[in-house]
Structures are given as structure tokens and as C-alpha cells.
Amino acid sequence: MLCAWLMWSNLHGQIKFFHTYSNAGFDKGEGICQLPDSSYLLVGSSTSYFDGPTQFFIARMDSMGTLLWSKDAGGSEVDNGRRIIAINDHFYAFGTSSSNTNGDFDFQLVKGNINGTILSRNLFSHQGWDFLNDAILLPDSTFILAGYTTNTADGLSDAFYMRVDTLGLVTQSIQSNRLGEDQITSVELLNDSTFLVGGYRFNPDSLLTKAYIKAIKFNGNVLWEKEYGDVGNSQFFNVLATIHGIYGTGAIERVSDSLWQDYYIRLNFDGSIIEQNTGNNQGEKWAKELVHLGGFSYFLAVETDDDYTFGAGTDVIYYSFNETLDFQGTAASVQVDLKDQHGQVISTSDGGFIAIGSTEKYGEGELSVYLVKAFKNDYPDMTLPNGYSLVGLTDNELLSSLVYPNPVRDYLNLSFEQPQVGTVEVLTVSGKKVYSGTLDGLTQKIDLSELNSGMYVLQILTENGRGAHRIVKE
């Protein structure tokens, strides 16, 4: 997995939860890993921070899903986080950014420590628009960053991957240069000398888009590559390698009505087929990701838009399977009105799984990050999540201000070193706005006498900067 961890036990029962995290913007959860102390690092994209239209965010949650800190790490344009990997006390977060001088999109690496300090940011300049879908750590502490590029003769996408080290130096850059659409959606370590990429590509003979898996040596030599899906267009979203074989999960477009159906395959280590299954649903279903929990236990993340989908949009369901892809039951489901999207699912050190994704249903903004922590036969109440703020509660020093008294009973005073013009808001720790006002001058007095006792977040936004402070109401 993306993070190494220590074995953990809970004397008071298994930890399970369903939480959402949001503020006033679009908050999208994409990647997650677990640390040795059973806490988690998250990555995604958000418009709830003040810098740029979309920010690359990194957050840390404790084992119960409580926010410890969150940081935005992008530039002045569009920045999206996709995957995060931890090595000792540092994290390496990967995504896509247009915050460059070229006006295009590049792969991005953000490095920091697990206490929330951002140490460096690298943009990997390459001609065309490059979008990252997945990343893995190799045994020599280098990374494979995989996705696609539009740097093509036909104007369509090419599969594209880079190998970079922990300092952000590129040691390998490979583009497929094929005719038609071609993308890597997943990358997976096979053994100590080989990795796998999977996705979809155009087949010039059938004129269809086909799911494929390719085994590549670390030096770039291709060991084997094969296409899958007998009829219709097909694609893989995820590739997984375990002691039971190589698994591909994705979707096949049904020829009779052009509806996408969930598709699963298990292969030998040479790419030959052991078994494969395709769904036959009233609507559409996409098999997004498979994770191995150990032994013969697997969990599968599926997005659905069929007769059983709750309201408009898509639902996310987490199913239990065995090693031969036999259905074992439903573990958890994010089934609420509007659109739900899966980001990533990983196994946890206590024998369960944790999944990150996004939902349009809950929170103050248009889109919220969700976390689901569950087990094969033990999962949380999924009817209503616990909601929290995504923007961190740590004091922000970009705008120097004096806030007093704190704790406060009636009036809170703000004092600035220079006159400020802007806005001030007070939020609950779940992100609900309970006060909003304007700033104009060196000082400001805020009446908080009607608020209930407890902790709140004071947010200040001016043309000179921003600030955030914890405040306690008596």
C-alpha cells in the first residue's frame, strides 16, 4: 500500500465512521494513506481556501477521522491533488497544476512533513496538457506518476508516465505515441523489478476503445501488454496485484443499449485470463477500485446510476468479494440524493478499509469530502454523516492580527497593524457560518453574545491577506 503502518488494536471495539468535510466551496476528496499511528493523510482539491480558483489540499485526520490540520499547497491557478504517499515522517502528494508560466497543465509534486509543514513544490514541465491519475512508490524510493498528455499529433490523449525521485528530479519520461485516445488510469507494483499500468486505448483494427494492462520493467522495457473486453468499448479504472493474481476492474459498454456495465477480471502473472465477469444491470455501473484486505477478503468500490440509485446522480457502494470475484455482500454505501463519487479505498491496519470520495449532498458548499471507515461485517450508520470543517483550525499567520479576549463572553475585538478592508466570518467547527461582517480600518468589534458556548473559527479575508484563529465562546 501507499503507506507503511504498524499493527494496531482497539480494546474498545472496531473504529468505524462516516464523516464529511467541507466549507463554502467545492471540496473533492481523491487520495488517502495511513500512517503508523493509525492517523490518515488526505489529498484532493478545494475552492474553500483563499488562494486561486482551485487549491491542492493536504489534510491529516486522527484514527477517528477528526481533523488535525489541513493545508493548501497550490499556486494562483487550478491545482488538483490526486494521490499521497508517506515515507517515514514526510509525505509526497501528487496531482496536476496549471499554476505555471506556460498556461498548460503539468504533473505536480508537493513535499512536506506529517505535522503539516510544506517543504517544496515541483512542477514537471512537459509540452501539452498533462493530467495525473495515479502514483506509486518503487522499492528504490522513486515514484511512478501516471496519467495522460495531450502532446499528440492527432490532438487526442496519449498514455504518459514519469519516474521521479524524492527531490523532484525526473529520471524517466515515457509517452505512448499511439493513434486515438490512450490513457493510464492506474499504476501498480507487481514485484521488485516490474510495475503494471492499466487503462484504456484505441484499437485501430476494431475501431473500439479497449481496456488494457501492460507490465513494464523499471528500466522502461515492456514485458507484456494485452487488451481485454470481448465486445464493445471497455476500460479499466484500477489494476491490483496480489498473491492471487492480477485484477482489473472497470466497465464495458453494452452493445445493445450503450449502457456501461461493471467489469472484473483476474489474470495470471503473464496476463492470461483466469476468469472474468460482466454485470447486467438496468442502468449503468462502473467498477472503480478493488482492494485486498488480506487472506481471501477483497473490497470493491462501485459507482452506480441505475434503478436502485437514490435520487439524481450516482451512488457509491462498497462490496465484499473473495479472491475468485464471488460476491460476498455489501459493506457500506454512500447513497444520498445528487452525485456521489469514489476517490480511493485502502486497507487499514486493523483489518478494515477506509474510503475517500465526494458527495454533493452534505456540507455548506457545493461538494464535500467524505470518509467511510468500515469492516466486512461491521459498518457505520450511513444515513447521516458527522460533518466537519475542511479548512484547518490552526492559526494563520499570513495576516497579522490581534484577537481578544479569547475566551470571549460578549464582544470580540480585532486589532491590525495596518488598516484593513475586507470581510470577517465566524464558523462552527463543522463549517456552518454563524456570523458575517465587513472590515474597514484598524479595529473591529464583533458581538458574539448570542452564540452558544464552544469552539469556533474566526476567518478574516482582506486584499492584503487572510487569517484564521480558534476562538472559544464562554
CATH number of the domain that residue 427 is part of: 2.60.40.1220
Tens digits of residue pLDDT in 166-181: 999 999 999 999 999 9
Rounded-to-integer distance, Cα 300 and Cα 320, Å:
6
Q: What is the largest CA-CA distance in the chain?
A: 75
Nearest-5° Cα angle at 64, 59 to 66: 40
pLDDT at residue 10 tops 50 = no
Q: 337 is in which domain, residue-wise?
A: 17-389
* DSSP code for 385: P
Rounded-to-integer distance, Cα 321 and Cα 340, Å:
22
pLDDT at residue 244 tops 90 = yes
Alpha-carbon torsion (219, 224, 228, 232), positive or negative? positive
Question: pTM of the full predicted structure?
Answer: 0.81
Range of 71-75, 215-219, 360-364 with top mean pLDDT: 215-219
Q: Is 335 inside any structural domain?
A: yes
SS3 214: strand
Could you tell me which residues are beta bridge partners of residue 40?
34, 61
- Domain boundary (367, 389, 411) is at 389
The pLDDT score that the predictor gives to residue 465 is 57
Calculate what percentage of the chain has a pLDDT beyond 70. 89
* DSSP code for 296: T
Q: Are residues 441 and 463 in the same domain?
A: yes
Alpha-carbon torsion (301, 306, 307, 310), positive or negative? positive
Q: How many domains does the chain have?
A: 2
Residue 79 belongs to domain with CATH number: 2.130.10.10
Contact 84, 58 (CB under 8 A): yes
Rounded-to-integer distance, Cα 234 and Cα 107, Å:
26
Q: Is 12 inside any structural domain?
A: no
Tens digits of residue pLDDT in 197-237: 999 999 999 999 999 999 999 999 999 999 999 889 999 99
pLDDT at residue 389 tops 60 = yes
Q: Are residues 60 and 138 in the same domain?
A: yes
What is the rounded average pLDDT of the residues 145-154?
92
Before 405, cis peptide (omega within 30)?
yes
Phi and psi, residue 433, nearest 5°: -80, 125
Contact 160, 177 (CB under 8 A): no
Q: Are residues 221 and 242 in the same domain?
A: yes
Tens digits of residue pLDDT in 14-69: 889 999 988 777 899 999 999 999 999 999 999 877 555 788 999 999 898 988 88
